Structure 1
Amino acid sequence: MSELGDFLRTRRARIQPAEAGLAEYGRRRVPGLRREEVAQLAGVSVDYYIRLEQGRGKHASDAVLDAVARALRLNDSERTHLYALARPAGSGGTPARPAGNAGVYIGALRDGARLVLDAITAPAFVLGRRMDVIAWNAMGDKVSGFSTVSPAECNQARYLFLNPAAPEFYPEWDTVAEETVSFLRRDAGLHPGDPKLAALVAELSDHNPVFRRLWASHPVREKTHGRKIIQHPRAGRLQLGYETLALPGDPDLLLVVYTAPADSATAGALAELAAEVGVGVVPA
């Protein structure tokens, strides 16, 4: 089945007929809504919806995709993902967003963005395609230790699912794992057919059953801000907020900045780490 079909199937499986105002009838072999029920809720023919779920609806209109999104109760991130899967690059449809720079690799950061990153006194780093960490500032390295691994290993998904130290470093590992898979699913929708991403997914699926299960469930969620707990080997437990900002002109590059309230224990711990690398006071 196509990526689009897998995604739609997992989304209809999570909705019970009663929740959608439909009467239950007959024996259900699979959980959630039947395809004909989604078609009914979206106001399209059953045959058309089946073709869409089979990946044969490349010219679906905005109205149809929006109707399917409403029927399946997709959030904003899932709706964007639906558009990206239904209109892959080169299909002639309007993509969900510009494809961006598909050739971003470790260290590929323009000089101006590099100066901005270095000027930030809080821990910060830049995520590229496939969750590659392509650049970081002094505090970002002090907190996450990016410089201690080779460029090929400097990938957050690979660290999270393949490094045995990851569950200790991230006490809320399960939450971070789902967020990570959601990010990769979003990347896969925006860049279909990416061989490097396919290789990464295959590697993680082969070596980690949790990743394999999460990937099959098609989580899609854009995390522009939130919280993250890190058990630092020297500074102890860091309760951090984070903000994620797309770099202008480089939609595939995300600047991630960790923050902590000025009067918190985490801010104090970060200040001690900052003193070791000669960085000024870490802002709240």
Structure 2
Amino acid sequence: MERNRFLGEFLRARREATPVEQAGLARVGHRRTPGLRREEVAVLAGISTDYYSRLEQGRERNPSDQVLGALARVMCLDAEAVEYLHALAHPLPKGCRVVEHREQAAPTLLRVLRGWTRTPGFIIDRWMNMLATNRLADALYAGLECNDNLIRLVFLNPEAVHFYADWEKTAYLKAAHIRTVAAMGPQDPLLSQLVEELAEHSEEFRRLQTQRDLRPRTTDTKRFRHRLAGELAFEYDFYTARSAPGQQLVLMQVEPGSTSELGLATLWALADPDANVIRLAQTPEPVPPAEAEAVTAAVTAAVSGLSDRG
């Protein structure tokens, strides 16, 4: 099965990336394997080498939670990687998957985004569709074709090579994300459509899809070349909510006193002062400011009236 291959590839990648010292072993002599050997993982996890080899080769379909927990401990996986490991081993049945064309941003994440006003922030779904953006994120991505989906932006917009100062790294991470989503939901029709579109129009995407790394990093630094704000470097942080599986809140920060902080001031100047603080995907045109003020006044009066009666 396809998911067994993804599980095996993930285990192999993490095994080779785990230093022997981190696993509590001494490094003795020359080692052909970059990280741990299969037999070392098996011993430390309390399973047979043959059983672990079958896992990596995709021939073992039903590892128990106890085995997965032992492997996660040996490979020092963080909480997100552990969750991903379990999802690879025990995905939802095909009939349990409900895929909508466009999700709505989770209220929990929206509440945080509404308070994030000094630097760009946005909410994406598992396919990296933009679900909600604040003013500065709007200003950062304004004018770029395909900016409603970050993966399509990277691979299908020729301007992306200039916009992303580290385009190769960005493209690699986006392709890794695609493989991650594919591993967790191989029957996802929207993912299939996205992959087909990318494979048809992007040679770089086809090349990167042959790589076997699956999990992109959850923290990152990205550098942009904005046509008006110049060079910008942002530290990214990603947050999730249990109420919205697959959605991520992305918050960006600049180093105080850096040239990026000066560029951020330019983004502030470019941001539309009359735009909503949060722009949601596929919403009607923004309400004119005068009308918005009238609605706000009416709501305030109504709330005040309820308070008086209380």
TM-score, normalisation: structure 2 = 0.67
Give the alignment's Cα RMSD to 1 decimal: 4.1
Q: Which has the larger radius of gyration?
A: 2
User: Partner residue of 2:11?
Assistant: 8
For 1:90-129, what aligned pairs fall within 5 Å after superposition?
Answer: 90=93, 103-106=99-102, 108-109=104-105, 117=113, 120-121=116-117, 122-129=119-126
Return 5+ residue gaps in structure 2 as ranges.
Answer: 276-310
User: Partner residue of 2:215?
Assistant: 220
Aligned-partner Cα distance in 1 for 2:80–2:206: 20
> Which letter does structure 1 place at the counterpart of 2:126?
R
User: Partner residue of 1:237?
Assistant: 231
Q: CA deviation at 1:226?
A: 3.5
User: Partner residue of 2:46?
Assistant: 43
User: Partner residue of 1:171?
Assistant: 165
The 1:48–1:226 alpha-carbon spacing in structure 2 relative to 1, beyond 3 Å, is: closer
The 1:46–1:149 alpha-carbon spacing in structure 2 relative to 1, beyond 3 Å, is: same
Aligned-partner Cα distance in 2 for 1:32–1:21: 12
Aligned-partner Cα distance in 2 for 1:279–1:262: 27
User: Partner residue of 2:247?
Assistant: 253
Aligned-partner Cα distance in 1 for 2:65–2:154: 37
Q: CA deviation at 1:132?
A: 1.4
The 1:89–1:235 alpha-carbon spacing in structure 2 relative to 1, beyond 3 Å, is: same
Question: Does 1:137 pair with 2:140?
Answer: no
The 1:213–1:248 alpha-carbon spacing in structure 2 relative to 1, beyond 3 Å, is: closer
The 1:177–1:140 alpha-carbon spacing in structure 2 relative to 1, beyond 3 Å, is: same
Deviations 1:139-165 (A, max 9, x none): 2111012x7546xx7221122123222
The 1:3–1:248 alpha-carbon spacing in structure 2 relative to 1, beyond 3 Å, is: closer
Q: CA deviation at 1:85?
A: 0.9
The 1:212–1:34 alpha-carbon spacing in structure 2 relative to 1, beyond 3 Å, is: farther
Return 5+ residue gaps in structure 1 as ranges.
Answer: 92-98
Deviations 1:51-109 (A, max 9, x none): 43354544322221133335556555443322211111139xxxxxxx9x954544733
One of 177, 181, 187 as aligned partner of 1:183: 177
Question: Does 1:52 pair with 2:46?
Answer: no
Aligned-partner Cα distance in 1 for 2:35–2:122: 40
One of 155, 158, 166 as aligned partner of 1:161: 155
> Which letter does structure 1 place at the counterpart of 2:166?
E
The 1:113–1:69 alpha-carbon spacing in structure 2 relative to 1, beyond 3 Å, is: closer
Aligned-partner Cα distance in 2 for 1:21–1:271: 51
The 1:227–1:102 alpha-carbon spacing in structure 2 relative to 1, beyond 3 Å, is: farther
8 Å CA contact 1:77, 1:220 repeated in 2: no
8 Å CA contact 1:81, 1:189 repeated in 2: no
8 Å CA contact 1:170, 1:176 repeated in 2: yes
Aligned-partner Cα distance in 1 for 2:215–2:108: 31
User: Partner residue of 1:95?
Assistant: none
TM-score, normalisation: structure 1 = 0.72
8 Å CA contact 1:181, 1:211 repeated in 2: no
SS state of the match for residue 129, structure 1?
Answer: coil
